[in-house]
Structures are given as structure tokens and as C-alpha cells.
Amino acid sequence: MSKINQERKFIPLNIAVLTISDTRTEESDISGKRLVEMLEGCQHLLFEKKIVPDDIEIIRQYVAKWISDEKVDVILTTGGTGITGRDGTPEAIAPLLDKVIDGFGEIFRAISYQKIKSSSLQSRAIAGVANGKFLFCLPGSVNACITAWEELIKFQLDFRTRPCNLVELIPRLKEK
């Protein structure tokens, strides 16, 4: 079981948040706002927050910009991970990834199954590494974002989490 080692110093990360939706505005983007609240509540830093339509090229453009920015450590997206015709986040992001973190999607769906049962199979949530940054592509549901953050992401983005965490891998992500 993971636990927090209080003897280790917390390392704040710069996190970018991208909401992917054809209908959300800054006023109605509950999932994006909640992700910002949760990351800031854990003492991480919001690098930037944007809303873009469900368009593979536009999604890829924003994410690629953040991937190339040395100041960004983590990218969170919300929306576009379902199975409808307009859902294209995994298709937009997957070609940008150097490595896929398969366990994230598997564990996220297992946890979601406990809450929403067989509806969890509709999620195509993914995570990976690109240019030394961690990317997490979450569903658009605020409850799904809360589940992903509270059950998985916040612990893996906390250097104090033992026995291991993603933060301690950041210096090694660009090794050849």
C-alpha cells in the first residue's frame, strides 16, 4: 500500500489543464475547474488552462505546445475519451507519446467499476510520457476526474509517496 513519507520534501509541479469539449465554456467547465482546484489544493502550480473543441488537430496542437515547453511537468486533459464519433482525445494524444503508461487506464477503469459498474468499459482514459512530461487523459465527467485525481494521480505526483512515485522518475525520462 502507498503511503506518504513526511520526511521527504514535497516537490510542486507545473501542470497544464486542457478541457476538450464542443460545448463547455469557462463558466460551464466544471471538470476543468475541479482539476485546477485539486492540483492547487495539493500545492502544485497551474501552468495554464485552456478549453478546445473535440478536434484531433486542435487537441494535438495545444498538447504538443505544452510538451515542448520546458516549464511544463504534467498535462491533464478532460473530455473526449468516450466512444462517440466526436471523441478523439486518445487518437490525438497517442501519437505524441514516447511511452504509454498502460497501468493507469487499467487501474482507473477497475476503480471506476466499483463506482459505475459496467459503464466503466466506455472509458478510453490513457496516460503516458512525452518529452519528459507526464500526460493523463481523463473523461469529461467531473466524478471521473475526481476519481482519477483522488485515487491515482495525486499520489503518483507526490514525491513523498512510497514505495515509489512518478515525480522521482522525471530526471530520468529523457535518458537514452
Q: Where are the domains of the chain?
A: 3-172
The rounded radius of gyration (Å) of the Cα atoms in the chain is 15
Q: Which helix (H) or strand (E) holds 32?
A: helix 30-41
Question: 35 near 149, Cβ under 8 Å?
Answer: yes
Assign 117 to helix, strand or coil.
helix
Give the pLDDT score at 12. Answer: 98
105's CB contacts (< 8 A; 6+ apart) are 123, 124, 125, 126, 127
* Cα separation, 149 vs 159, whole angstroms: 15
| C-alpha angle 112-15-92 in degrees, rounded to nearest 5 | 65
* Cα separation, 118 vs 108, whole angstroms: 13
Give the pLDDT score at 86. Answer: 92
Give the pLDDT score at 1. Answer: 66
In the chain, which stretches have pLDDT less than 70? 1
Give the pLDDT score at 156. Answer: 98
Give the pLDDT score at 27. Answer: 95
Q: What is the DSSP annotation of 45-114?
A: EEEEEEEE-S-HHHHHHHHHHHHH-TT--EEEEES--SSSTT--HHHHHGGG-SEE-HHHHHHHHHHHHH
Nearest CA to 97 out of 135, 149, 151, 139 is that of 135
Q: Which fold has domain 3-172?
A: Molybdenum Cofactor Biosythetic Enzyme; Chain A (3.40.980)
